[in-house]
Structure 1
Amino acid sequence: MAKELDSDRAVKNSDDDLFGFVGIAERLAPLVVEASKGDGMVIGLEGRWGSGKTSLLNFLRAELTSAQERRR
């Protein structure tokens, strides 16, 4: 059965990632970690309603949490 899109709800489970945001989060997380070692940083995420901004942030948060746990 094909998965249905529900643009009103952010996804957290990588199995529900229909747009490849998990891969983006995996590549972005090490860059965020490295950039955070400096004096400070600001990251902006911009897009239309329903474009997946919150889903991408959910995957990035999960990846950063996993990276932090691996360093312990």
Structure 2
Amino acid sequence: MKVSEIVRTAMEQSGTTKSDLAKLTGYSYQYIYDLLGGKRRWHEQPINRVYDALGIKVSFNVEATSAQEPCEEVDQ
């Protein structure tokens, strides 16, 4: 799922408008509009601000897919 889709879904569920989101994040309405419309690229700061404003939590689960031999230590 793309960031804009996640944000739109959270906005719909919470009844948050683009104008509300702009006020909550400190960004302009136009900036939020452009992010959601794909005219601007999402990067770390706006993702963090928007997710915080909407109460979106992100977690990562990393698993190794294959067993690897441990690395040998090299004495110097």
The alignment's TM-score, normalised by the length of structure 1, stands at: 0.29
* Relative contact order, higher structure (CA 8 A, sep 6+): 1
The alignment's TM-score, normalised by the length of structure 2, stands at: 0.28
- Is the radius of gyration larger for structure 1 or structure 2? 2
